[in-house]
Structure 1
Amino acid sequence: MDWDVYKVRGTVFMLQTVVAGEPIVLLKAAPAGALSLRTARADITLGCHMNKQHWITLQPDGGLDAAFVDELVTESYLLVVENMSQTQQPVDPATFGQRS
């Protein structure tokens, strides 16, 4: 199985691969948010091969809206950035996406 790995400053925030001919995406998530997403949606499951509390898997059934997936990817990215020292952060997670 080949994995596409997406990192920010050397830390993984997204993984992508193909399982049984279908693409899956793994994203970092806050534990409470991950649990809420998994409870509410059948197409979001435990993080395959990752810490089940901090990672989610987006299933390939086509039911996930592209804008929603974009939101989840951005949240994953910002979760990783928030844990970096301020000098390492490529963006300010508190103001990311806001217009000045």
Structure 2
Amino acid sequence: MDIISAREFCITLPHTEETFPFGEEHLVLKVGGKMYAIIALDGDSTIALKCDPELAIELREQYAAVQPGYHLNKKHWNTVLLNDTIPDAKIEEWIRLSYELTIQGLTKKVRNELML
């Protein structure tokens, strides 16, 4: 998977918004105003994703392309190098997981407003 495919998959998820709060080099994807993915556009070809802490450790041990979140809470975020060593379906699964974890963290009011 490349950064274009990752972005295209993210924007298929309901209520996803694209923002650039950290500058033009990082596309931040949000749901309900909360980040669930950060795609590096500066040539690094990475995506940072929220993850369950125990699963985050397992993925880092299993895949060399999965590292602790760069400039993020390393307990809850992984940075995934998009270098074709991980199947696209796995990355899509992790994006969806990050999205769902973010929705779970939204207030009931926001979830109701978004009809999630």
Tell me which interval the TM-score lies in, with the shorter structure as reference length. Answer: 0.7 to 0.9
Partner of 1:71: 93
Identity of aligned residues (%): 26
Q: Distance in 2 between matches of 1:22 and 1:12?
A: 19
With the length of structure 2 as denominator, give the TM-score of the two structures.
0.72
Partner of 1:10: 33
Partner of 1:95: none
- The residue type equivalent to 1:87 in the other structure is K
Q: Would the alpha carbon gap of residues 86 and 56 (structure 1) be closer, same or farther in structure 2, given more than 3 Å must change? A: same
Q: Distance in 2 between matches of 1:91 and 1:45?
A: 33
Partner of 1:98: none
Q: Would the alpha carbon gap of residues 91 and 79 (structure 1) be closer, same or farther in structure 2, given more than 3 Å must change? A: farther
Asked if structure 2 preserves the Cα contact closer than 8 Å seen for 1:29 and 1:55, the reply is: yes
Aligned length: 91
5+ long unaligned stretches in structure 2? 1-23
2:58 is paired with a residue whose SS is helix
Asked if structure 2 preserves the Cα contact closer than 8 Å seen for 1:81 and 1:91, the reply is: no
1:82 is paired with a residue whose SS is helix
Moved runs in structure 1, 4+ residues, more than 2 A? none
Asked if structure 2 preserves the Cα contact closer than 8 Å seen for 1:24 and 1:58, the reply is: yes
Partner of 1:41: 63
Query: Cα distance, 1:91 vs. partner?
Result: 5.7
- Identify, as 1 or 2, the structure richer in helix: 2
Q: Distance in 2 between matches of 1:48 and 1:91?
A: 32
Provide the aligned C-alpha RMSD in A: 1.6
With the length of structure 1 as denominator, give the TM-score of the two structures.
0.82
Q: Would the alpha carbon gap of residues 91 and 14 (structure 1) be closer, same or farther in structure 2, given more than 3 Å must change? A: farther
Query: Cα distance, 1:60 vs. partner?
Result: 2.6
